[in-house]
Structure 1
Amino acid sequence: MNLEGKVAYITGGTKGIGYGIAESLLSKGMKVAISGRSQNSVDEAVKGLKDNENVLGLVSDVAKLKDEEHAVEAILNKWGQLDVVMANAGVGNFVPVDEMSEETWHQMIDTNLNGVFHTLKASVEALKKSEGYYMTLASLAGTNFFAGGAAYNATKFGVVGFTQAAMLDLRKYNIKTTTIMPGSVASHFNDHEPSEKDAWKIQPEDIGQMVVDLLMMHPRTLPSKIEVRPTRPDLK
């Protein structure tokens, strides 16, 4: 894919991994829409991105299909096309299953799992027209379960399965589909504040570079599922 002038939509793009992906795509001459759940966070992210003339900030809660439909409509109204969609928005709440509230369970399912479906549902017709690329941000927790992770594991196992099945459904339209499964990332996930202590972790710009590499790959080749880990976790 020639990235110059192409249009991308990144959910959860106001900080962390989503923000890092936005920076990487902008550096390649792409136009980028980012979404978040609050106007303040969206405004701050747009100001922080260097090439904000090619950035569109949108308020959208991926747990609501209508929000995602409105977001995609705004992108098409502004730029007339949509070539890349990154379903990145996610939340984490780690608690033993016997202590988990129904509210926590539904929040995780609605954002992490329903959200990736809503984002694809809202954008798939535009991706058919552009023969574009749909990506999801899963996790190594999508194949590796752990104590206290019942809800998070359930959502990420679901994201991996959903994306792989979607890949089989969509490739006949020349839509590429990939799920990226990172291990520890130096991000704001779960209210974490990145610091020098996180230097051993994957950095958001590393995921951004990975997305660029995927987009630049020859159309005949599709890495449909990518696991990525810190090289030296023993440095923590």
Structure 2
Amino acid sequence: MKDLKNKVAYITGGTKGIGFGVAQALLSQGMKVAISGRSQKSVDEALKDFNNVSVLGIVSDVAKMADEKNAISKIMEKWGQVDVVLANAGVGNFAPIDEMTDEEWHQMIDTNLSGVFHSLKASVEALKKSKGYYITLASLAGTNFFANGAGYNASKFGVVGFTQAAMLDLRKYDIKVSTIMPGSVATHFNNHEPDETDAWKIQPEDIGQLVVDLLKMNERTLPSKIEMRPTRPDKK
């Protein structure tokens, strides 16, 4: 996509953090952007911050296929195309496996893993038409396991595997598929409120820049799995 102007992107979990940062980056390139969140309140608050007529806010829980199909339908109704989908919505519950609840496990698997399937399944026909790009937001936790992370690791290992297999399935349609695997990011993830102590971390706008670079990559080349981490980790 040499020229991103007027291309249409859909970003799940786009009301704050990484999704919000990517949306800002794509808007700066002249793209039209739809963002989704699980509540009308979060969507309305994000739209106030964007203050941009090229942003469409949608309430969608990615854990529900019907919600994602509805989101894509609304985007197609408004703009008639979907060129980019960023499956970014995610949750994290961290606890030893003997203490993790059934509810916590299923929330992560349903949102982090099934959610990326729902987003792709709902948008794949539109992406075939546009020869578009599907990007998942995984994590370094998708290749590096750690104590108290069994559920989160399982979901993110799954996202990495799902995305790489989907890439092989869809490239015959000229759909590009990539997964981004960040380390520590300064976001609101897990109820964290970013502040100056997060300055050493990857910032949402850094991931936004990476997404723009991926979209502008020559069509003959596909960076299918990208790891990114802070240059200098915090020393505690």
CA distance in 2, matches of 1:10, 1:120: 12
CA distance in 2, matches of 1:27, 1:56: 15
* Conserved? CA contact 1:94–1:148, under 8 Å: yes
Aligned to 1:13: 14
CA offsets 1:169-190 (integer angstroms, 9 cap, x no match): 0000000000000000000000
CA distance in 2, matches of 1:102, 1:48: 36
Structure 1, unaligned runs of 5 or more: none
CA distance in 2, matches of 1:79, 1:114: 26
Aligned counterparts, 1:15-54, within 5 A = 15-50=16-51, 52-54=52-54
**1:218 aligns to 2:227 (yes or no):** no
Aligned to 1:123: 123
Aligned to 2:179: 179
CA distance in 2, matches of 1:146, 1:233: 17
Structure 1 stretches of 4+ moved >2 Å: none
Aligned counterparts, 1:200-219, within 5 A = 200-219=200-219
Aligned counterparts, 1:86-235, within 5 A = 86-234=86-234
Letter in 2 for 1:220: R
CA offsets 1:150-199 (integer angstroms, 9 cap, x no match): 00000000000000000000000000000000000000000000000000
Instruction: Give the number of aligned pairs.
Output: 235
* Conserved? CA contact 1:200–1:235, under 8 Å: no
CA offsets 1:93-143 (integer angstroms, 9 cap, x no match): 100000011111111100000000000000000000000000000000000
| SS class of match (1:167) | helix
* Conserved? CA contact 1:167–1:176, under 8 Å: yes
CA distance in 2, matches of 1:123, 1:40: 25
Letter in 1 for 2:45: E
* Superposition RMSD in Å: 0.7
Letter in 2 for 1:127: L
Letter in 1 for 2:8: V
CA offsets 1:33-74 (integer angstroms, 9 cap, x no match): 000000010011011014x10000000000000000000000
Letter in 1 for 2:22: I
Per-residue deviation, 1:234: 3.6
| SS class of match (1:98) | coil
Identity of aligned residues (%): 78
- Using the size of structure 2 for normalisation, the TM-score is 0.99
CA distance in 2, matches of 1:35, 1:132: 19
For the structure 1 residues 84 and 105, does the alpha-carbon distance in structure 2 shift closer, same or farther, using more than 3 Å as the test? same
Per-residue deviation, 1:235: 5.5
- Using the size of structure 1 for normalisation, the TM-score is 0.99
